[in-house]
Structure 1
Amino acid sequence: MAAKIYTITSGKGGTGKSIFAVNLAAALAGLAKKTLLIDADLCMADIGLMLGMENSKITLHEVLADEANVADALYDGPNGLRVLPCSISLEGFKKADPSRIKDVISELTPNFEFIIIDTSTGINSATAASIEVCDEVLLVLTPDITSIADGSKMRAFAALLGKEVTGVILNRTMPVHDETYREKLMISLDLKVLEVLPEDVSIPDCIAGKSPVVTKYPYCEVAIAMNKLAALFSGIKMPEPEEGKGQKKQKNKKKRITGAKLPFSQSKK
């Protein structure tokens, strides 16, 4: 068994990249897939905080500093997920050697079906190592000009490392960012938009409660979309969720707003 490795990245902060990585990994684990989530954001690690592992004594930092074995830095997460967190300490960041990331992941690959790597935002050596070792790169963007522009730079960076961005997750969207907007974005970026996730008030609650949205609020729109994406990656056909049971009937109640402009589009003269 060799794991399929997805590296999750973005060009700027605030896109919800780490939240996406946590929920994708938890959704895959919920499909009975042996899944590992790695926090490779060596300087601004958040996954430990999101999953209640902030006090872990042995983390990826210690492994990269050659002070611990990677097996001792793995922890149990939701849905049977395994997690390799980073320390929230800057001392851990100072002593970690990013060049060892490839060796660590190579050691872990035979033991899992999926490995999800959350990187830091922007261009740095740890992100480069995480991209070089992966099978697919996923960009998490928000529908604003800076996120899309910086995402384009990350795509170019991945290309320099010999990797192509597989697709885009358009996160924190509003009703105006509908299917028409999605099609325009696909054309402008020449990338496939794999999923569109709405701004959701349940996300801050899940972060505070240190639980993924896919386990705490499984019938919310974001959780359903995350599970569909995990099923797609796993080659599993998911049944459509039943209306009711905590899922609001919104399909015919939402007024669709079409013709939204991309934030970087220019009017034709």
Structure 2
Amino acid sequence: MAAKIYTITSGKGGTGKSIFAVNLAAALAGLAKKTLLIDADLGMSNIGLMLGLENSKITLHEVLADEANVADALYDGPNGLKVLPCGISLQGFKKADPARLKDVIAEVSPNFEFIIIDTATGINHVTASSIEVCDEVIMVLTPEITSITDGSKMRVFSTMLGKEVTGIVLNRTMPVHDEIYREKLVSSVDMNILEVLPEDVSIPNSIAGKSPVVTKYPYSEISIAMNRLAALLCGIKMPEPEEGKPQKKQKNEKKRVVAAKLPFSQSKK
């Protein structure tokens, strides 16, 4: 059975796209799903650095240059995850042919249940190659006007390539970005919000430790959200949170920020 393939993209840098891809893949693997994480950001690859694979001699660069076999470029990651990292050299970027990505996917897909592809940011031929080989696109946005605007362009770009955006992950949110804010955002971009991830100090700590936050800080708020999304993609129903003080506190917080506006909202004259 072929793998379910998700390409993770964004319209601009700084959204946390690669961090999200690493943690989603690790969360899926943690649910005992055979998962492969591919770093297809050929020019600005970071996943190898995040997982301690930056010194790998054989990477996606060599595979796409037809200088190595895919099997030799697969490395072990957390939770039993398999990782196909990309090299960090510009020479490797120069010789890699992104058009060969479809051949790579065809070869590895029968061996996995999920494949997560982290692609380049923005509209370019590398991103196009990653979108064309996937089943669904997940877009990572932050609650900023530039991210939201560029995300809308990426949605059109994906549609042009014959792929619809499954939904967006709203990342690096603050308490002011409450439920009412998110409802306005959904209506403005006409895309489903799959999950909301908070700005979390555990992220830089996990990067420094070269481990996904879902394994290094499994009880953090962002790890719980990542596992919830992974379960959703697997069709696993997560238990509802118990009623209690945390929910009451959240309601009070909602009242306090009810007047928050989207960054691109126009004031009425």
Normalising by structure 2, what TM-score?
0.95
Q: Distance in 1 between matches of 2:7 and 2:188?
A: 23
Q: Distance in 2 between matches of 1:250 and 1:40?
A: 40
C-alpha displacement at 1:258, in angstroms? 1.6
C-alpha displacement at 1:262, in angstroms? 1.2
1:36 and 1:81 in contact (8 A); partners too: yes
C-alpha displacement at 1:102, in angstroms? 1.0
**Which residue is equivalent to 1:23?**
23
**Which residue is equivalent to 2:57?**
57
Higher alpha-carbon deviation: 229-238 or 258-267: 258-267
Unaligned runs of 5+ in 1: 244-248
Q: Distance in 1 between matches of 2:259 and 2:233?
A: 31
Q: Distance in 1 between matches of 2:135 and 2:258?
A: 35
Q: Residue by residue, what CA displacement relative to the aligned partner does 1:38-97 show, whole Å, maximum 9, x if unpaired?
A: 000000000000000000000000000000000100000000000000011111101101
**Which residue is equivalent to 2:9?**
9
C-alpha displacement at 1:239, in angstroms? 3.1
TM-aligned CA distance change 1:242 to 1:58, over 3 Å: farther
Q: Distance in 1 between matches of 2:241 and 2:25?
A: 20
Name the amino acid aligned to 2:237: K
Question: Is 1:90 matched with 2:93?
Answer: no
Q: Distance in 2 between matches of 1:242 and 1:100?
A: 49
TM-aligned CA distance change 1:242 to 1:212, over 3 Å: farther
Name the amino acid aligned to 1:210: K
Name the amino acid aligned to 1:258: V
Task: State the percentage of identical aligned residues.
Answer: 81
1:101 and 1:126 in contact (8 A); partners too: no
Question: Is 1:225 matched with 2:225?
Answer: yes
Question: Is 1:130 matched with 2:140?
Answer: no
- Runs of 4 or more off by more than 6 Å in structure 1? none
C-alpha displacement at 1:259, in angstroms? 3.2
Name the amino acid aligned to 2:132: E
Question: Is 1:261 matched with 2:261?
Answer: yes
Higher alpha-carbon deviation: 86-95 or 52-61: 86-95
Question: Is 1:175 matched with 2:175?
Answer: yes
Aligned-residue RMSD, C-alpha: 1.4
Unaligned runs of 5+ in 2: none
TM-aligned CA distance change 1:53 to 1:220, over 3 Å: same
